Amino acid sequence: MALDLELLKKEFQEAVAQQVQEEYWVPEMGESLIRVLPPVDGKLFYKKVGIHYRLAGSGMEFCPKLTADDQCPICEVVEELRKSKSPAAVQLVNRLAVVERYLMNIIPLSEDQKKVRQYIAPKTVRLALLKIILDPDYGDITDLEKGRNVVIEKVQGGGGFVNYSVRAKPREISVREILGREVTFSEIPDLNDFVTKRLKTYDRLKVVLYGGEQELAMEELVERYSDSSKSETVKKEVESDITKQNVNADSGNKVSIDEMMKIAQSVVSQLKRE
């Protein structure tokens, strides 16, 4: 019996997506103790990035547009989808739209193995950290010698949202005292280099988005990313409309370019209504 290649492909994609997500530190519900590390260039301790979450077969990818001011095929598709007010288009926009995040180097202190990891922080956490650092009573909490540990509290809010609160520990403590050894800047990744190595090209992102090199029509994207039952309804109604148009076209001797365009426009209108 031959192997189920489609099932193997799905298993592989899920494994890759899980591996990507496990690369980054994610706070557990409740309180997490971390140490935010200083930047290697002496400027910002974070890097602003754009993330496309919930990509089929990939999990998440950095957005070239928000991260590096470059073209992004996913953002282009989202902009086209925004022109349609259909429930299917809105659902896809909510799933594929870029999310602004802040990448930073940290050491999770609640874990048994304390090592440098990367944290993709939401806006609220970044803003709270900035307020603490700009408060003269705290100052540079990222300093390797005179910095402070930070508590991030993650709680479940209403409507399925997650809320964060951040506070700095009152005592100054060196990273050397925490780990029992010296930590040098050579151990702290440059965030720009870190992102550049993981930022996919335009064409590679298209492959991730569509699941292959061939671009998908809107109804096919609905089927790939949305609820299967809803997408099947859209697909069947579109196919029915195409069939009707083809029957009408076959009744004549020739189909003009104008008539073909009317058929295409009718299909697009049908999709927008859905």
Helix (H, G, I), strand (E, B) or coil at 145: coil
* Half-sphere exposure for 90 (CA within 13 Å, toward CB): 5
Query: Which domains are assigned to the chain?
Result: 11-219 (3.90.198.10), 227-273 (no CATH)
Q: How far apart are CA 75 and CA 222, in angstroms?
A: 16
Amino acid (one-letter) located at 247 = V
Amino acid (one-letter) located at 86 = S
User: Beta 46-55 vs 117-121: how paired, if at all?
Assistant: unpaired
pLDDT in tens, 145-190: 999 999 999 999 888 889 999 999 999 999 999 999 988 899 999 9
**pLDDT mean over 199-226:** 86
Cα–Cα nearest to 76, from 225, 206, 251, 254: 206
Q: How far apart are CA 141 and CA 147, in angstroms?
A: 4
Give, as one character, the DSSP assignment of residue 39.
Answer: P
Place of tokens 């603490």: 132
Helix (H, G, I), strand (E, B) or coil at 41: coil
What pLDDT score was predicted for residue 234?
A: 40
User: Is 52 within 8 Å of 96 (Cβ atoms)?
Assistant: yes
pLDDT in tens, 45-79: 999 999 999 898 778 999 999 999 999 999 999 99
Helix (H, G, I), strand (E, B) or coil at 161: coil
Model confidence, pTM: 0.74
Q: How far apart are CA 38 and CA 50, in angstroms?
A: 21
